[in-house]
Amino acid sequence: MSDMVERVARTIYESHNFVESWDSLKDVWRPAWLEQAHAAIAAMRDPTEEMLEAPDDGDTNPRMRRYIWRAMIDEALR
């Protein structure tokens, strides 16, 4: 799993305000949180139209922005 998947998993876990910290979480429980993080990131793979229009720099067309966005999400999921 990538650093981003673990970062998102940690954030999801910590948002539940459990007493046990992520660092002290037993290895048997981590895969479930990593799966949730992977699914959350994968759900963002297809950007919304608003996301594609947001960086309107006049140089990059929406098709290229979509390609760049997907490449970044794919890298996060590796």
16, amino acid identity: H
Task: Tokens for 6, please give them.
Answer: 């673990």
Q: What is the structure's pLDDT at 52?
A: 81
Domain range for residue 38?
3-77
Count of all residues that appear for the chain in the document: 78
Number of domains in the chain: 1
Instruction: Work out the number of other CB atoms within 10 angstroms of the CB of residue 8.
Output: 21
pLDDT in tens for each of the 78 residues of the chain? 689 999 999 999 999 989 999 999 999 999 999 999 999 999 999 998 888 888 776 777 888 888 989 999 999 998
How far is Cα 54 from Cα 46, in angstroms, rounded to an integer? Answer: 15
Question: pTM of the full predicted structure?
Answer: 0.81
Cα angle, residue 50 at apex, residues 77 and 55 outer, rounded to 5°: 80
